[in-house]
Structure 1
Amino acid sequence: MEEDVKSFLDYLASEKKYSQNTLAAYHNDLTQLAEYVKSENAAAGRDLSEPRLNAELLSGYLYSLRERKYKPSTVARKIAAAKSFIKFMVDRGRLRGDLAPNLASPQVSKSLPKPLSVSEVRRLLSEPAKLSTIDAKRDKTMLEVLYATGLRASELMALNTRDIDLRKNTVRCLGVGLKSRVIPIDPPVSRLIKEYIDVVRPDLLNDEKEVALFLNRRG
């Protein structure tokens, strides 16, 4: 089975163009699977020249992972690697039938993002001011708008110039489900946006018809 693992890793490297870190993770996870299968087959007196993967072995492997008290995310990763390997083996005729359904992944809870402290926010907002480039001035405006409005990054990037009302000091955005909402902003942030629109944005603009508020150097 070690040769099959090697062939699979070669496939991931040459065909899928996976990174070295990803390949290393697959190597570690599948080596663990191969060693378990080899050990169990040897104990049962089976021929070790064949893969000898079956539903019983996979169930035992899954149980062994849980016995080692791995985190659910680690177990889920190892199972995902095993499923990909099994599919590879089936596609190449090394295994009969898809055994992947015998590997049930655990529920992996999503951790809530950790909010930044006030000092971290201040430090983040002050970073672009250390440079005097056009990009830095744009980035400062983007960060200030994010902090002042609570917009998602995707909502910020979707803003158009017509979404800014400098007279009323408001920003209009389309959120989840294309629901529109109007967010008030403080006068200092409004003035910063005006300066960006009047001074910075024209230097980034390549097409006069472009309506996006925040631009990169390609417009």
Structure 2
Amino acid sequence: MISISIIEDHDYYRASLVNAIKENDSFQIKGIYATAEEAIECLPGNTPDIVIVDIKLKNKSGIDVILETRNNHLNTQFLMCTGFQNDEKIFSALKAGAAGYIIKGSTTAEIHDALIDLYEGGSPMSPFIARKVIGLLQNKDACNKKVDLGLSVRELEVLSLLSKGLLYKEISDQLFISPNTVKNHCKNIYRRLHVQNKIEALNKFKEYNYN
């Protein structure tokens, strides 16, 4: 049996969710909360398999619920509930740790399907949101592909500031070192990267995803 808690501040929709879940004998309701604050306080003693969370609650949001409870509920999955398919907050909720979402106005059958899908390892979401999630993962993967250029931390700092268009004097002011020291760092950078000038150094810097 799949245990479910509900966090929804709209009385009518909260009652509708309860009724929809009760129609399936595979589900058991463990908790019903009208506010994020109430849920955050009560969930530690009542850990369900799935929590259906309204994204837009009155004070703290559904995203706040995830952020404040997920570390204590490692086996609980969060299914967001929203009124709009392409709500930007859905993406924020997924980044915070939600595993999927349902749309307000979904049929009873669609709610059941989403809960079962989630419980069995799926992530119910639209192609639009799925594409954004894939984009996020691809960006993280690109960041992880940074190649060790053989530079010191200070040399990387200097090269990073050069890539932003700063002059030697501006870099020296920002790093609290002398302009002459900045110049020496640049010479070492060119030697280590086997390049002849700043442009070639910056091209290599960008080539290996350090920009």
Tell me the TM-score normalized by structure 2.
0.28
Q: Which has the higher helix share?
A: 1
Q: Which has the higher strand share?
A: 2
